[in-house]
Copies of this chain bind each other. A is one copy, B any other.
Amino acid sequence: MKNLHVHIKVDDNLYSRNPDSSELGRKIISTSITLINELGFEGFTFKKLGEQIGSPESSIYRYFENKHALLIYLVAWYWSWVDYKLVFSIVNIESPNERLKRAIDVLVQPVKVDHSISYVDETLLSEIIIRESVKAYHTKNVDNENKNGNFKDYKQVVQRVSELVLDVNPTFEYPHMLISTVIEGMHQQRYFAEHLPSLTDIKSGEDAISSFYHQLIISALK
């Protein structure tokens, strides 16, 4: 996908001040992506981020209440971007089977992009999603955050693909469960393949993970 000058929109209440609206804001986003990758989310602090970009902590707090809010933002951005890719991948395709196949491909293929959208490195961001995104909703405060709309984009992606599932098999009872299982499972398996390989079945060369989930969906819908 080439640079189409698309703009990924993130909901207003996922930030205190829109990071997309200033140089400092954009630096916060792009630098935090590399820094979270380096340090892990627990090791990442606004102080260290401030040092990296040469700004005081207090300036960063004007964009995000805390580092959790920043994670929520990154996750929302990611799913908003995936949703865009989903729409793009199935437009003009008629066969329900082919539409589903293409959508699943968007979900399970590793992200390899040449910086298509501005200051966000989508490949690095996808690694954060794999490693850290469970922490976005595994908190004591999920229910309030959910009410606040923090997970809207993710839910939107699941909803969209669930509808494609029903187009293929209208009697299938658990489309949302199937799709969220596939998305989360794919993340886990990529993580396991790197860190806990005995929990997965890696064959060198081919992308076993993608083909496993493709097969899983096909057989589940029969």
Spell out A's residues near B (CB within 8 Å): 39-40, 42-43, 131-132, 134-135, 137-140, 142-143, 146, 151, 154-155, 158-159, 173-178, 180-181, 184-185, 188-189, 191-192, 195-196, 198-201, 203, 208-209, 212, 215-216, 219-220, 222
Contacts and interface: CB of A to CB of B under 8 A. Distances in A.
B195 A188 contact: no
Contacts of A196: 137, 142, 146, 151, 155
A98 B120 CA distance: 50
A150 to B, nearest CB: 10
Nearest to A199: B180
Given A158-B199, A174-B212, A219-B219, A42 B140 contact: yes
Contacts of A137: 195-196
24 contacts: A39-B140, A40-B139, A40-B140, A42-B140, A132-B138, A134-B134, A137-B196, A138-B191, A155-B198, A155-B199, A158-B198, A159-B198, A173-B201, A173-B212, A174-B208, A174-B212, A176-B201, A177-B189, A177-B201, A178-B212, A181-B188, A181-B189, A216-B220, A222-B222
Given A42-B140, A196-B155, A212 B134 contact: no
Nearest to A143: B195
A42 B154 CA distance: 24
A187 B200 CA distance: 17
A212 B135 CA distance: 25
Nearest to A216: B220
Given A42-B139, A158-B199, A177-B200, 7 more contacts: A134-B135, A138-B191, A155-B198, A180-B200, A181-B185, A216-B216, A222-B222
